[in-house]
Amino acid sequence: LTSSNATSVEFPLYFNAAPEEFKEAGSKRHELRLKALGLDQGKNQ
């Protein structure tokens, strides 16, 4: 067991979903962010 980073892994890693599937969920989070910043004008759905 060493402290080397021999295993090269490219982040992000996806489990149980394709990268595209994160887009819709990510945009919902983004809407919450804009709301928190008071920047959600005309986007209330």
Partner 1 sequence: MGATIQEIGYAFLETYYHRMNKDPSKVSCLYSQTAELTHTNYQVDFTPSSDTLPTVKLTGKENISKFFTRNNKKVSDLKVKVESCDFQTTGSSHSGILILITGEMFWTGTPTYRFVQTIILAPSGYRDTFDVTNDVIRFIGDNLLPETDVKEET
Q: Which residues are at the interface with partner 1 (CB under 8 A)? A: 1-7, 9-17, 19-23, 25-33, 35-37
Euclidean distance between CA atoms 39 and 43, whole angstroms: 9
The answer to whether residues 34 and 43 touch, using CB atoms and an 8 Å cutoff, is yes
Q: Which is nearer to partner 1, 37 or 41 (CB)?
A: 37
Q: How far is the CB of 21 from partner 1 (least distance, A)?
A: 6
Q: How far is the CB of 42 from partner 1 (least distance, A)?
A: 17
Q: Which is nearer to partner 1, 20 or 41 (CB)?
A: 20
The answer to whether residues 31 and 43 touch, using CB atoms and an 8 Å cutoff, is yes
Euclidean distance between CA atoms 40 and 34, whole angstroms: 5
